[in-house]
Amino acid sequence: MRILITGILVFLVWAAFSSWFYVCKIKPACEKPAETTITADTLSPSPIPPPEIQIPPPQAMMLYFDFDRAMVKASDDDDQKAKVLYDWLSAHPDANLTITGHTDSKGSDSYNQKLGLKRANSTREYLTKKGLPTEKMQVLSKGESEPVAENNSESGRAKNRRTEITIK
């Protein structure tokens, strides 16, 4: 019986204390309006602009040539790719083009080096006619040193007779 009476007394004391604590401490703190202060650091004179979307540069453009020729034989698709390059260079004035001339393995190394340079220069003239600024173009020749296909078939050699136009 003593345990029962002690339990009831402890419960009553706990109930009284928790009621007082809620009514006098917690409830007034919850009903008070929150104080906010605005400082000059939190005010922004203008909204933050959205981040600029970065459009990746166009992929390398390839122009192909006939055997032992340096004359560009551009298609409508090539003209469209040149327009994309023009638009990219207009939007990114710090970008430049590298035009690299390549050949197949027929002929001597020195002849192929010269032919690759002629092809690169011919491509530069083609792109200049399409409106691209000459001062943004660098030409060089790799000759037959970097084939993209085997040189033991006519179709492979045709793929190697090319210029690559890349943005840097």
| pLDDT per residue as tens digits for the range 37-64 | 666 555 556 677 777 767 777 888 899 9
CATH number at residue 117: 3.30.1330.60
Domain membership of residue 28 (yes or no) is no
Q: How far is CA 83 from CA 22, 51, 130, in A?
A: 75, 27, 7
Q: What is the DSSP string of 141-168?
A: EEETSS-SS-TTSHHHHHHHSEEEEEE-
Domain membership of residue 50 (yes or no) is no
Domain membership of residue 41 (yes or no) is no
Domain membership of residue 113 (yes or no) is yes
Separation of alpha carbons 149 and 95, rounded Å:
29
**pLDDT averaged over every residue in the chain:** 86
Closest CA to 123 of 134, 112, 114: 134
Kindly state the percentage of the chain with pLDDT values over 70: 90
Domain membership of residue 100 (yes or no) is yes
Residue 23 has pLDDT above 60, yes or no: yes
| Count of domains forming the chain | 1
Specify the amino acid at residue 168: K
Residue 162 has pLDDT above 90, yes or no: yes
Closest CA to 168 of 100, 99, 67, 96: 96
pTM here is: 0.66
Domain membership of residue 82 (yes or no) is yes
Q: How far is CA 45 from CA 36, 41, 50, 52, 163, in A?
A: 20, 10, 16, 20, 52
Domain membership of residue 97 (yes or no) is yes
| pLDDT per residue as tens digits for the range 66-120 | 998 999 888 888 889 888 888 888 888 888 999 999 999 998 999 999 999 999 9
More confident residue, 24 or 50: 24
Range(s) of the domain holding residue 84: 61-167
Domain membership of residue 52 (yes or no) is no
